[in-house]
Structure 1
Amino acid sequence: MFIAGHAGLVGGALRRRLLQERCDILTIDRRRLDLRRQQDVENWMAENRPDIVLLAAATVGGIVANNTRPAEFLTDNLAIACNVIEAARKYDVGKLVFLGSSCIYPRDASQPVTEDALLTGALEPTNEAYAVAKIAGLKLAQAIRRQYGRDFISVMPTNLYGPGDRFDPERGHVIPALVHRMSEAKAAGTPECVIWGSGLVWREFLHVDDCADGVVHALQYYSGDAPLNIGSGEEVSIATLATLIAQAVGYRGRIVFDPARPEGPRRKLLDSSRIRALGWRPRVGLRDGLVDTVRWWRAQGHVAPAPSSARLALCHAEV
């Protein structure tokens, strides 16, 4: 079983989950295999011949990263999806799971978002490049399934967080970015933390270990043409999320919102009824998951140092 992207947030969780099942796992460091290089991917696939491929590799980031590096997000993710999926077809992989993202769905889709909403409206502009690449990967998996009869499926997780995330205050997603910034603010004694957006948008979050369990469940029990949503089914406002993170970190300063900054669509909740009908349920609640995430981050020795005086006033995070 080949986990493409095993060192990332989702790939790491998949590896932990599959080790529990005593699976024979194949991994390779990105420095030894660049998934953006077609011939290198084909050579590796021809030599190793995995039976199953879990495609979790991607170039990812928050709103700032998506807005400032759209060409990179598009080209990298297109190349990774095309190279791995086509090589899997060429070298007779029995089953492939392509991991997409909830951002593939239209910005103004009815809530909760069903899998049938795909391509029914315009995408969210702040992550359009990433979404287009993920849609292309999903469509390639569908096309190979239809033309060649291969059991290639796609799953669409909601917003993920947990151990292994990128705790980068500039490039990370909202939860790890806020954990880092609030830890900085706590260490510096900063009286307030300013967060991008109004705080009034609502988001769904899923602990990455629950996501990994859902992917393995889909691997075992799902074989269909349509993508399969994987979400917690619960929404929280960014304002509430910020309060929960502050509690988990121990930050007691004021939380201030900057509505002039981008924050994405008002709601983004997935309808995960299809995978729930297959018997899967999430297990980790958001409050407990945040505490677990902060505990893991600190155990890695990444407690944020006090920032320089030039950065004491603001505590940005991307939603």
Structure 2
Amino acid sequence: MNKYSKIFIAGHRGMVGSAIVRRLQRSGYENLLTCARSRLDLTNQAAVAQFLAGEKPEYIFLAAAKVGGIHANDNYRAEFIYQNLMIEANIIHAAWLAGVTRILFLGSSCIYPRGCAQPIKEEYLLSGLLEPTNEPYAIAKIAGIKLCESYNRQYGTQYVSAMPTNLYGPNDTYDLNNSHVLPALIRKAHEAKERGDATYPVWGSGRPRREFLYVDDMADACVFLMERTDIRDGIFNIGTGEDSTIGELAHTVNEVIGFKGSIVFDPTKPDGTPRKLLNVDRMIELGWLAKTGLKEGIAKAYADFLQVHGGSGPERPPTS
């Protein structure tokens, strides 16, 4: 990419897409193409084809997706598989028709089997059964990876897939019915502190282990991959290479927010996959490492939460 390349960021208002926009702008990229959902329905094949044929971007960051936590994934299964399949299929096919040779497709670590060895290597894809609670979403993302692979093989395109671990940061979703675990913990701890509660509830046993990556680090990895002209295809895990239990995570959130009470775990609610830690050796070998530590990232995320939702808290730290 050069500074004047026309770059389409699909999903620019979401957490990942907006972080990619910030990262590109900081690096001096001037010709960024975005389109609001009200103007372009990415599940509409004809509309997407017309848009890309008219705009003819040189590069696409495919960050648009329907996302959510365990509750949303398990209760809106049809929406998750349908919308994600349509978005990725429409964009990838229309991009090829429009002559776009380079795409960065954003997947998810949930593509990997529930019981695979840890840390998870890219080659473990399709080696076992998926986690049942988010299987429809995972299948849609696997289809996106295979679309990229298939178009590369048949048409000589350069469509690369990035598999992030659990992400958090600015523009995250804090709706408790749809959010992931870390933003849900931030909201619960904040509201418990504001009300003066002694406890707040957390789904599951607190024992599952998860890895978390600050979204601006994810955006940095995406741009890093797109700028590497020697990377023409493949899957790349993006993460920190470190994990913690949900219980440990909750205590770190409490420390950052200043909640002095205790946590009540609800073992009747699902835990999801017991452990999910990515092997990030491929990115390390290429020369990329995450920069933001978990506690630092949670503090930044909480400052962003306060700006959106109000309330007392620490001064917002600068965005990396």
Tell me by how many angstroms 1:225 deviates. 3.6
Letter in 2 for 1:154: S
Q: Match for residue 248 of structure 1?
A: 256
Please say if 1:206 is aligned against 2:213.
yes
Q: Match for residue 4 of structure 1?
A: 10
Please say if 1:119 is aligned against 2:119.
no
Name which of 40, 56, 77 aligns with 2:63: 56
Q: Match for residue 227 of structure 1?
A: 235
Alignment TM-score, normalising by the size of structure 2 = 0.93
Tell me by how many angstroms 1:224 deviates. 4.3
Tell me by how many angstroms 1:251 deviates. 1.2
Q: How does 1:61-76 map to 2 (within 5 A)?
A: 61-76=68-83
Residue 300 of structure 1 aligns to a residue whose secondary structure is helix
Aligned partners of 1:70 and 1:224: how far apart in 2?
Answer: 33
CA deviation vs aligned residue, 1:186-235 (integer Å, no higher than 9, x gap): 11111111111111110000000100011111112252443111011011
8 Å Cα contact 1:144/1:150 also seen in 2: yes
Aligned partners of 2:56 and 2:120: how far apart in 1?
Answer: 36
Unaligned runs of 5+ residues in structure 2 are 1-6, 313-320
Q: How does 1:187-198 map to 2 (within 5 A)?
A: 187-198=194-205
8 Å Cα contact 1:201/1:265 also seen in 2: yes
Letter in 1 for 2:220: D
Q: How does 1:1-319 map to 2 (within 5 A)?
A: 1-23=7-29, 24-221=31-228, 223-303=231-311
Letter in 1 for 2:83: D
Aligned partners of 1:21 and 1:191: how far apart in 2?
Answer: 46
Aligned partners of 2:311 and 2:281: how far apart in 1?
Answer: 38
Q: Which structure exhibits the higher relative contact order, with contacts defined as CA atoms closer than 8 Å and separated by 6 or more residues?
A: 1
1:193 to 1:301, Cα distance in 2 relative to 1, 3 A: closer
Aligned partners of 1:212 and 1:56: how far apart in 2?
Answer: 10
Tell me by how many angstroms 1:28 deviates. 0.6
8 Å Cα contact 1:115/1:226 also seen in 2: no
Q: How high is the sequence identity, in percent, across the aligned residues? A: 47
Aligned partners of 1:103 and 1:249: how far apart in 2?
Answer: 29
- Matched residue count: 304
Tell me by how many angstroms 1:164 deviates. 1.1
Aligned partners of 1:276 and 1:290: how far apart in 2?
Answer: 24
Tell me by how many angstroms 1:259 deviates. 1.4
Residue 119 of structure 1 aligns to a residue whose secondary structure is coil
Aligned partners of 1:302 and 1:180: how far apart in 2?
Answer: 11
Residue 292 of structure 1 aligns to a residue whose secondary structure is helix
Letter in 2 for 1:240: E
Cα RMSD for the two superposed structures: 1.1
8 Å Cα contact 1:297/1:303 also seen in 2: no
1:71 to 1:302, Cα distance in 2 relative to 1, 3 A: farther
1:234 to 1:22, Cα distance in 2 relative to 1, 3 A: same
Q: Match for residue 315 of structure 1?
A: none
Letter in 2 for 1:229: N
Aligned partners of 1:233 and 1:302: how far apart in 2?
Answer: 33
CA deviation vs aligned residue, 1:28-73 (integer Å, no higher than 9, x gap): 1011101000000011101111000000000000000001000000
Aligned partners of 2:310 and 2:168: how far apart in 1?
Answer: 16
CA deviation vs aligned residue, 1:8-46 (integer Å, no higher than 9, x gap): 010010000000122111001011101000000011101
Aligned partners of 1:152 and 1:224: how far apart in 2?
Answer: 7
Aligned partners of 1:289 and 1:119: how far apart in 2?
Answer: 32
Q: Match for residue 311 of structure 1?
A: none
Aligned partners of 2:223 and 2:129: how far apart in 1?
Answer: 31
Letter in 2 for 1:8: G
Alignment TM-score, normalising by the size of structure 1 = 0.93
